[in-house]
Every structure is written in C-alpha cells, then in structure tokens.
Chains A and B, each alone.
Chain A
Amino acid sequence: DAGVTQSPTHLIKTRGQHVTLRCSPISGHKSVSWYQQVLGQGPQFIFQYYEKEERGRGNFPDRFSARQFPNYSSELNVNALLLGDSALYLCASRADGSGYGYTFGSGTRLTVV
C-alpha cells in the first residue's frame, strides 16, 4: 500500500507567483490535513478537509486556499507568494474512526526567492 504521496518534492518560486501543491492520501482515507513547517519550528495547521468539505482552518491569510476532490486527493494553493512562505508543506491523512491515526507525507519543500 502506498503511503501519503505529495508532489512536487521541491519547488522554487519567485515572490508574487502562485503555487499549487498536491497530495494523495492513503487509499480509503477521506480526511486530509495540510500543515506548514518553517525550519526549526513544529508543523502549523492550515486546513482540514473531509469528504470534499472544509472542516477546519488555521490562522493563515486568504492567500492560502485548498480543495479536495472526489477521489479524496487534495490541492493547496498559495497566491501572491512571499519570502516568508518558504517552508516544508506537509499533508496528512486519517482513516474514518481513527482518532489518532494521522499519517504524514514527506512534504513539498517550497523556496520563495
């Protein structure tokens, strides 16, 4: 069974550009969460989706948006990139009924120059 897969693994963008990050959860997992991890810090919660609906949103500006597709994969979009958006973006999926079974992907390393 494949784990949580994220693409791309690395990305370099220029300030002001837009970026789309993708996540495929473990087969059968309907819940997907996105986290931002700045170097030296713990992951910060951005969004959670379940059955294509947003179930939670962290303290991030409206430049950040996300969606979940019928196959439960998800995209995170960031507009008008800032230098401070440089981080590791992590996706985690969870199975129904598993209160604690979060599995993380290896992340997308975004560098904004």
Chain B
Amino acid sequence: GQNIDQPTEMTATEGAIVQINCTYQTSGFNGLFWYQQHAGEAPTFLSYNVLDGLEEKGRFSSFLSRSKGYSYLLLKELQMKDSASYLCAVRASGGSYIPTFGRGTSLIVHP
C-alpha cells in the first residue's frame, strides 16, 4: 500500500516564500505529482518528479529525494491567487500510471 503525508493547513504572507512538504511510503516508486486545486475547481497539474533533485518552473519549484521518501513544493513571491489546496500524489511501480493522492495542504495567503 501507499501512505502519503502532508500538512493540513499553512498560512503565509503575500510576497513571501512557502515550502509545502510531502512524505510518502510506497512499495515501489514511479513518480511524484503536485497539483493545485482551488475551491470547487478541478486539480491542475503543477509538476512531476521522477529523479532526485530540484525542478524549477517559474515561481514554483518541486524537489524530490527518493531515498528519503520526501518531496516539497516551493512557492515564491506569493500572490493572493495562490490560496488553494496543494495535492501531493505518488505513482507506484506497475505500469498502471494511477497516482495516489495525499489529503492536500490548504494554503492561505494573506495581505
């Protein structure tokens, strides 16, 4: 089975930097996703990490350490519109490509 853990809620100030952590335990690993989900909307894809290291994409970066079962999503220059739920999802080995989601981290950005 798989176990994915991330904080339930975080708050941050507009313009600041925030790091959302995700730890996972899985019987075989084949990639880790980060999705953003605004209330009442569909999750939208942010990043996908397969290899160790940091991948940067504009204001958002995602880091993966497979040996530690650990990932984080880094959001820079926070904007009010970044207030959303951030979902970590892990794809196990096996070829089915089905990601398993954590419960999500609700990020609140305040002025």
Contacts and interface: CB of A to CB of B under 8 A. Distances in A.
A55 B96 contact: yes
Contacts of B102: 42
B101 A43 contact: yes
| Chain A interface category by residue count | 20 to 34
A56 B96 CA distance: 7
26 contacts: A40-B103, A41-B103, A41-B104, A42-B4, A42-B87, A42-B89, A42-B104, A43-B87, A44-B101, A45-B99, A55-B96, A56-B96, A90-B42, A99-B30, A99-B91, A100-B31, A100-B33, A100-B97, A102-B33, A102-B45, A102-B99, A104-B35, A104-B44, A106-B42, A107-B42, A109-B40
| Chain B interface category by residue count | 20 to 34
Interface in B47-84: 48
A3 to B, nearest CB: 8
A100 B98 contact: no
A94 interface: yes
Nearest to B6: A42
A25 interface: no
